[in-house]
Structure 1
Amino acid sequence: MKFAVPLALSLLTSSVMATSLDIYDASRERNIPITVDFPVQKDLCTTNNKCKVAFVSAGYKVPYLKYQLMVQNLNEMGYLTVAVDHELPNDPPLSKKGDLYQTRIENWKRGAETLDFLQSNISLSYPEYNFQNILLVGHSNGGDISAWLASENKSYISKIITLDHRRVALPKTAKIQVLSIRATEYPTVASALLTEKEQSKYHSCIVEIENSKHMDLTDYGSEKVMNKVRLITKGFLSGESCTKLKQQA
């Protein structure tokens, strides 16, 4: 279905625990499919006690609803989650030739614009949630999109979790807490990650799960790896040290 933002979101009711719809960005003539899942204890979320918000971005060619391991985990921790479909049928395919950092910038910028648009256009329809303190979560190319937006100095981004993103540099600032969960299947561009010194300086963390595959960080993964992802994510959002998070891997 296609609605202007205020109309589409006005149709939601507090009794609905998950809602899928298209949000229309008129400036780009772009429909943005999203699915909103509410916290398990959503009754605790009020305009005076706003609950947390997370945007979840899928990897390229991975269905955007195949991250329930993250969505359910975040819902249990009190987050409203907004799963975003970044790849529309008319979008150009993700480049696989040449300097992939340069040739994929168009895709990352488009995804970052989508997340920024959602932050500024749907918050009024969810007054019980804090859209000025957002967690970005992204797998693979969705992680690159999230890291790209995080580099744009948006004041509403407080944390970012990437799941085996591979090219865009993670933010190097104490204003944004970073967790990057790594699989061991494919190499990652070194400049995309943080050194041990940088992790300590910025209170961020890189955690590698031994013998894990790239797709293990989705709902297609092994139960063993997905359980580790849940534990590491929960620990990070609960304020555990990087040393302890690495022990969970």
Structure 2
Amino acid sequence: MKRGIAVLASVSALLVVGYFTATKWAIRHEMLTFYDPARDNRQVAVEIAVRRDKEMQADAGMITLPVAILNHGNTVKFTEYSFLANMFAARGYLAISIQHDLPTDPPMVTKPGELYVGRLPQIQRGIDNIHFAVSEMKKVAPNADYDYLTMVGHSMGGDIAMYFAKQYPEQTKKVVTLDNLRVPFVTNGRFKILSFRSKDPVFKTDPGVIPPEEVREKSGIEVVQTGFQHNDMRDTGPDEAKASIQGMLNKFLEDDSPPRPIETKAPPEMTDPGPVTPYVPGAPTPKMGKRLGSAPSATVTAQQ
């Protein structure tokens, strides 16, 4: 029996990999760089991934593209989650990956004992980047649904995604995190949450981030213990990890049923963050590539 289940799981993973491999050629990638005048012309680079046929239908006014916002981990570049961007694009989403950090930004000063280990300024900067990138993308790709965003993020990016959902629940459709460690899950049940967790001796989730099982069941929160390490959850990770995440994420996105309402007098917004632990930095990653070409707008630099 166990052997049969294992074979079925392997076949399912192969089918998922085959599906996304077959559709990858039909996905268009483009780099855009915006400059935020409200923040001293801060550079906000994005990479979009979209299925060509879906983009043509949206341009013709036939459909409205759902939008997924991808947020990278600390020290990781926004271009290092193509396995997620391609999966969302293959399902008909406009996937927007945002670069939150710049070389000119001051170094992060973590403060154990403070809320989110003192990372709130960096998280808020990520929220500002999301708002600005969305406002600019409305000009570039207007036929997309920017009112209801699927928020996605790895590590620090997962904390940004969860914090966005806490602050703007009316603009959040679903949340997907890959081993976010600091910001507690939203538990009011207004949207569904899928979270992949690592088994890593170095990267540990702070107490109070993941709510207890009974709260998760009421709030529409699904937690997947993957057995993979924290840094496996990006393009540099093993194919097995990426295929497994794609398969479970695909099932999660297929379910569009609304979350069940929580029958309590005062639904909790978030769990108690509890005590926090020191930050452990990840491995350094390659620098961003050069920008190529130019966009029709004076505030945008495009890269194909």
Decide: shared fold, TM above 0.5. yes
Q: Which moved more, 1:112-121 or 1:130-139?
A: 112-121
Q: Contact 1:53–1:129 (CA<8 Å) still a contact in 2?
A: yes
Deviation per CA, 1:108-147: give whole Å up to 9, x if none.
1111111122223322431221111211110011111111
SS at 2:184 equivalent: coil
Q: Aligned pair in 2 of structure 1 residues 16, 236: CA closer, same or farther (>3 Å)?
A: closer
Structure 1 runs, 4 residues or longer, greater than 4 Å off: none
Code of the residue aligned with 2:160 in structure 1: it is I
Q: Tell me the equivalent position of 2:70.
A: 56
Whole-angstrom distance in 2 between the partners of 1:48 and 1:198: 40
Cα displacement (A) at 1:99: 2.9
1:170-189 alignment runs, 5 A limit: 170-185=185-200, 186-189=203-206
Q: Contact 1:164–1:180 (CA<8 Å) still a contact in 2?
A: yes
Whole-angstrom distance in 2 between the partners of 1:88 and 1:142: 15
Does 1:94 pair with 2:108? yes
Deviation per CA, 1:165-217: give whole Å up to 9, x if none.
1000121222221111111103211321232122211222111102x111110
Does 1:167 pair with 2:182? yes
Q: Contact 1:19–1:37 (CA<8 Å) still a contact in 2?
A: yes
Work out the number of aligned pairs and report it: 226
In structure 2, list runs of 5 or more residues that go unmatched: 1-25, 258-304
1:196-215 alignment runs, 5 A limit: 196-210=213-227, 212-215=228-231
SS at 2:31 equivalent: strand
TM-score between both structures, scaled by the size of structure 1: 0.84
- Residue among 74, 83, 86 paired with 1:69: 83
TM-score between both structures, scaled by the size of structure 2: 0.70
Does 1:38 pair with 2:55? no
What is the root-mean-square deviation of aligned Cα atoms in Å? 2.1
Q: Contact 1:25–1:32 (CA<8 Å) still a contact in 2?
A: yes
SS at 2:223 equivalent: strand
Query: Which of the pair has the greater relative contact order for Cα pairs under 8 Å at 6+ separation?
Result: 2
Whole-angstrom distance in 2 between the partners of 1:175 and 1:118: 24
Q: Contact 1:68–1:219 (CA<8 Å) still a contact in 2?
A: yes
SS at 1:54 equivalent: strand
Deviation per CA, 1:77-125: give whole Å up to 9, x if none.
1111111100111112223443362421110111111112222332243
Cα displacement (A) at 1:25: 1.3
Larger Rg: 2
